[in-house]
Chains A and B, each alone.
Chain A
């Protein structure tokens, strides 16, 4: 089922990319990143079935990084919300100059 898994993984990743590009809500953008990580995990697992279980170890690491990223990212969103009273990315443009 390798090629099918890679196909669905590509589809999920693309949906994640489209979500990141088209949404303005910071939390939804963040969840789209999580979806992209999940899509990559799916291809890791599919490859692990054919090439050996080391791929599953990488999924384990990706999940750890995703958990750390969620904790820090959501803390950043909360800090941003405290400053600007919004999570709309169009209004968060301090770095634009």
Chain B
């Protein structure tokens, strides 16, 4: 972990965002009420948006706020409201002790794997020059570095994504529709 050329303020704000994000995530999985959990998750996503901006991805930061914290979480809250799940359920929501132990074990294994990988070295050929992306953002704006590969190199994937969204819309409508005999009830 070297940040020789990074200002101290940058490092401080980075850690601030990251620690708030992780703390909100912990609060999110431990809340009983689904509404409180959803709001903590929104907080996590806002802080992740801040991290994206600090990692030279301002466009994704904006998209994160609009799409994730805005649209997706509003849909979640909407469903919670629609199904009237706002109160913490009477039956204990958290699983039993064995599940918790198993989850802790899985978590420790995952963390060990991921932390072991952080020592890996990457070939120098692949890396951008120092501050490469930041200078690109400064030169051509926030959207250009994302849009250029999206509409050239990954154009096919972009078009397929539109089909995916169409399928999702149709699927959601079909699943959400009441059947004729149910409507009579």
A64 to B91, CA, bound (A): 35
B contacts with A, residue count (CB < 8 A)? 89
Q: What is the bound-complex CA distance between A46 and B91, given in angstroms?
A: 41
A-B contact sample (8 more), CB < 8 A, given A21-B102, A49-B128, A78-B83: A8-B51, A18-B107, A25-B85, A28-B29, A38-B68, A45-B51, A65-B164, A88-B91
Interface residues on A, range: 35 or more
Give every chain B residue within 8 A of A19 (Cβ-Cβ): 28-29
Query: Chain B residues with Cβ under 8 A from A11's Cβ?
Result: 22, 25, 111
Q: Of B44, B76, B103, B133, which contacts A52 at CB under 8 A?
A: B133
Q: What's the A-B contact tally at a CB cutoff of 8 Å?
A: 235
Q: Are A10 and B110 in contact (CB under 8 A)?
A: yes
Least CB distance, A93 to chain B, in whole angstroms:
14
Q: A14-B110, A18-B29 are in contact. Are A54 and B149 (CB under 8 A)?
A: yes
Within 8 A of A (CB), among B166-185: 167-169, 171-173, 175-176, 178, 182
Is the beta-carbon distance between A71 and B150 smaller than 8 angstroms? no
With a cutoff of 8 Å between Cβ atoms, the chain A residues found around residue B149 in the complex are: 53-54, 57
CB within 8 Å for A10 and B115 given contacts A35-B44, A56-B146, A61-B157: yes
Instruction: Give a binary string over B85-112; 1 marks a CB under 8 Å from any A CB, 0 the rest.
Output: 1000101111100011011101100110
Distance in angstroms from A12 CB to nearest chain B CB is 5
Residues on A facing B (Cβ under 8 Å) = 1, 3-19, 21-25, 27-28, 30-32, 34-35, 38, 41-42, 45-46, 48-54, 56-57, 59-61, 63-72, 74-79, 81-82, 87-88, 90
- The 8 residue pairs across chains A and B that have the minimum distance between CB atoms: A68-B168, A10-B114, A21-B103, A75-B175, A19-B29, A53-B145, A75-B172, A71-B172
Given A15, A32, A67, which contacts B165 in the complex, CB threshold below 8 Å?
A: A67
| Most A CB within 10 A of own CB, among B21, B67, B145 | B21
Evaluate contact between A42 and B48: CB separation under 8 angstroms: yes
Beta-carbon contact of A68 and B37 below 8 Å? no
A contact residues around B79 at 8 Å (CB): 27, 74, 77-78
Q: What residue of chain A has the Cβ atom nearest to residue B31's Cβ?
A: A28
Find out whether the CB atom of B76 lies under 8 angstroms from the CB atom of A27: yes
